Amino acid sequence: MNGHRVRAVAKRIVLGFRRDRRSLGLLFVAPVVVLSLVGAVWGVATERVPTVVVATDRFNFPAPIVDRFVASSAIHGRRGTFEEGLSQLRDGKVDAVVWLEGTTLHIQIEGADPLESGSIGGAIQKALADTLAGASVLLGGGPAVQVDQLYGGPDYSILDYLAPVLVAFFAFFFIFLLSAVSFLRERTTGTLERLMATPLRRAELVLGYLAGFSFFALLQAIVILLFTVFVLKVHYRGTLATIFIVEAVLVIGAVSLGLLVSAAARNELQAVQFVPIVLLPQVFLSGLLIPVDQLPDYLRPLSAVLPLTYANEALRSVMIKGYELADPLVLRDIGILVVFGLVMAVGAVTSIRREVA
């Protein structure tokens, strides 16, 4: 083995990176950005105080104890009837409804997100324990506690709850990477320049690429959905058609984003280095690992501009809650995803104009 030749190869690699300042920047900036995000999300202890309706028409504790429970610092308590509380729970205005049935205290939660359910039930039981601290002798002991769910239930596994966000993430991730690298290859091999020499307009070019990549994106979306439902056998309440529509709009937006990101990369290495910058913030801020309403206040505006936030919300609503396509929440999320895709497509057209000019 010739050490001189080995050093020559190593020197060539080092000098190549030295001239490639963009790769060097991504090499050092990307980990710092991602680690800063991890520290911001998990390094700050956030305690969410749930809003709880005490169903006074079904809560026969003595009035002083009810007052103490409502005023507990562990919850934001409010009085109301059982039907009012249940209606507000379905609308997402409160986190739980509490009532007493015999010697059992019922806690009704939404249950669509297990990450939220544990903190809500724990806060209510803490409020109950504080309330009954000096009254258990009077009451002959505290009541038994039963947690009920509007959605999901004991027959749901953790996969059933995570399936909506995993379907969205994997569909978005793979097609974004495919479109970014493939479109970059079209540029680096000179295919894009040759196409631009034809009467083909830039918008037509982007739409053509978008249609071509979207064809495979939709096929991938079908495969992911069918595998999740029929092979992994996850529970779902909505229709497969509605689930697919949400997934389809998401992956078409991912294609548009891939085309735009590829314009900022000079080679495939740079395109891959953009992956953590584009995708990891969406992993941490879209509700996949931590509920959006439990994020620090300064991170929630960032969550509001990420497409996976709305895809996760829509797919949870459809797959776990059984919402239909015509539901206002689902339509709103789909509309935002459509706007995201359009904005990314316009950005891709503009980036090609700058490059050719």
User: What pairs with residue 79 in β-bridges?
Assistant: 54
Q: Which of 166, 73, 155, 77 is nearest to 111 (CA)?
A: 155
Residues 131, 280 within the same domain: no
- Say if CB 97 and CB 135 are below 8 A apart: no
Does residue 309 register a pLDDT over 70? yes
Residues 184, 96 within the same domain: no
Angstrom distances, CA of residue 298 to CA of 12, 254, 295, 304 = 44, 26, 8, 11
Chosen domain end from 149, 177, 200 = 149
Residues 88, 174 within the same domain: no
Q: Which of 348, 349, 111, 321 is nearest to 235 (CA)?
A: 321
Q: What is the pLDDT confidence band of residue 23, given thresholds at 50, 70 and 90?
A: low
| 19 falls within a domain | no
Residues 223, 343 within the same domain: yes
Query: Which domain does 188 fall in, by range?
Result: 158-356
| 84 falls within a domain | yes
Residues 168, 108 within the same domain: no
- What is the domain count for the chain? 2
pTM of the predicted model as reported, rounded to 2 decimal places: 0.83
Residues 164, 138 within the same domain: no
| 352 falls within a domain | yes
Chosen domain end from 93, 121, 149 = 149
Residues 141, 240 within the same domain: no
pLDDT in tens, 197-210: 778 787 888 888 88
pLDDT score for 49: 86
pLDDT in tens, 137-153: 444 556 778 888 888 87
| 29 falls within a domain | no
Residues 295, 313 within the same domain: yes
Type and span of the H or E element at 211: helix 202-226
pLDDT in tens, 211-250: 888 999 999 999 999 999 999 999 999 899 999 999 999 9
Task: Give the CATH number for residue 117.
Answer: 3.40.190
| 103 falls within a domain | yes
Residues 337, 213 within the same domain: yes
| 15 falls within a domain | no
pLDDT in tens, 38-59: 777 776 656 678 899 988 888 7
pLDDT score for 353: 54
Phi, psi of 104, deg, nearest 5:
-115, 125
Chosen domain end from 129, 149, 169 = 149
Residues 145, 163 within the same domain: no
Q: Which of 162, 352, 176 is nearest to 277 (CA)?
A: 176
| 179 falls within a domain | yes
pLDDT score for 356: 46
Q: Which of 272, 258, 283, 220 is nearest to 351 (CA)?
A: 258
Residues 75, 213 within the same domain: no
pLDDT score for 47: 66
Residues 107, 172 within the same domain: no
